[in-house]
Homo-oligomer: A and B are copies of this chain.
Amino acid sequence: MEASVTIQTRSGSYVVTAGTGIRKQVIKYLPKSYESIYIVSDQTVADLYLEDIKKQFASNQVDSYVVPSGEASKSIDQYYELITDALEKGLNRHSLVIALGGGVVGDLVGFFASTFMRGIDFVQMPTTILAHDSSVGGKVGINHALGKNLIGSFYPPVAVIYDVETLKSLPLREVRSGYAEVVKHGFLEGESFFRDVIRADLTKPLDERTLTKHLLQGIQVKAAVVERDERESYHRMFLNFGHTLGHALESELGYGTWTHGEAVAIGMLFALKVSQRTFRVDLPYEAYYEWIKTNGYPTVLPPLKAESLINKMKKDKKTKNKQIQMVLLKAVGHPVIQQMEEEFLYNQLKDFLGELVD
């Protein structure tokens, strides 16, 4: 099975193809031919799939570089080393860079591609579920000692080649983390996609057909938002559903304690609760809560201070004039941006933490 979606950007368009085993036919999905190919991957993924990609090109035309696995590779030092290596290997503006890996590799390599000799073409080959989100939308970047993703740009790939076969090797925790963003896209899209997603049982191996369908549907939701609004303003903010508290939780618990998706899953639960209170509507809070619980997302929190989380929310990159904005739902498929009254939010959060505390 193979399916594709075309994404429009300001400067053109690119095709996202998802399918089984398509990593073995990379050339078929490239928009044109290139003088040379430079594949960047992390150690974990390189061990599994680098050779599959590399052997499709003439040996004098392809080079590769492997970074350590994990978030620490999104550093200024790793970025500079990547540039040094690429220059030493003779990469130029007529070369293509392939980012083979999850979000860390995609973000780092995309940022590298966006700034190497003022920009060269790059292809995303995501190998995680979470990367269905990060590989579309053009956001690339690295971390700064003072915060995540503070250095970056908007730079779309020339193609996304998504081999769902590579997702089979993912640990359950990574599957969970990725599916949180799939569910998010369900919440933004509407009842039918949302209900379809929460039928997924993550504790068993997912069949490739369902996976391909969910990933491409998620990508379509994201693409629809991003096409309206490439640089963050009104509509793109919808994608932050669950992320206001999610980011604060990640930071408060210490990065790596929970996965991004685990934090966002709780963030969405909170956003549902706040939405119900704010708009006096019924949302599938219970059905969603059941799904995250059954599928092993952490639903019991260590003791946390609401005040401290609120302060973190205020420091978010997207904050304007220190007012916290949240994405709320008037219904599944009907997100809105809401300026939050601080005291109300504090009380809601205190209640919420109380319900989930250990």
Contact = CB atoms under 8 A, between A and B. Distances in A.
Interface string A149-171: 11111100000000000000000
A147 interface: yes
Interface of A: 10-11, 35, 76, 80, 83-84, 87-88, 92-94, 111, 114-119, 139, 141, 144-147, 149-154, 231-232, 317-321
Nearest to A231: B119
Contacts of A80: 76, 144
Contacts of A320: 94
Q: This chain: how many copies in the complex?
A: 2
A146 B84 contact: yes
A303 B153 CA distance: 45
Contact of A115 (B84, B115, B231, B317): B115
Given A93-B317, A317-B92, A317-B93, A87 B146 contact: yes
A118 B87 contact: no
A153 B151 contact: no
A86 B307 CA distance: 26
B76 A118 contact: no
Contacts of A321: 35
A39 to B, nearest CB: 20
A118 to B, nearest CB: 5
25 contacts: A10-B10, A10-B11, A35-B321, A76-B76, A83-B151, A84-B146, A87-B144, A88-B146, A92-B317, A92-B319, A93-B232, A93-B317, A94-B320, A111-B115, A115-B115, A115-B151, A116-B150, A117-B150, A117-B152, A118-B152, A118-B153, A118-B154, A118-B232, A119-B153, A119-B154
A147 B118 CA distance: 13
Nearest to A94: B320
A144 B317 contact: no
A339 to B, nearest CB: 15
A152 B116 CA distance: 6
A35 to B, nearest CB: 7
Nearest to A90: B315
A326 to B, nearest CB: 18
Contacts of A145: 84
B119 A83 contact: no
Given A10-B11, A76-B76, A83 B150 contact: yes
Given A80-B76, A88-B146, A144-B83, A153 B114 contact: yes
Nearest to A86: B150
A144 B153 CA distance: 19
A136 to B, nearest CB: 16
A317 B76 contact: no
Contacts of A83: 144, 150-151
A146 B116 CA distance: 13
Nearest to A317: B117
A43 to B, nearest CB: 24
A319 B92 CA distance: 9
B94 A118 contact: no
A311 to B, nearest CB: 14
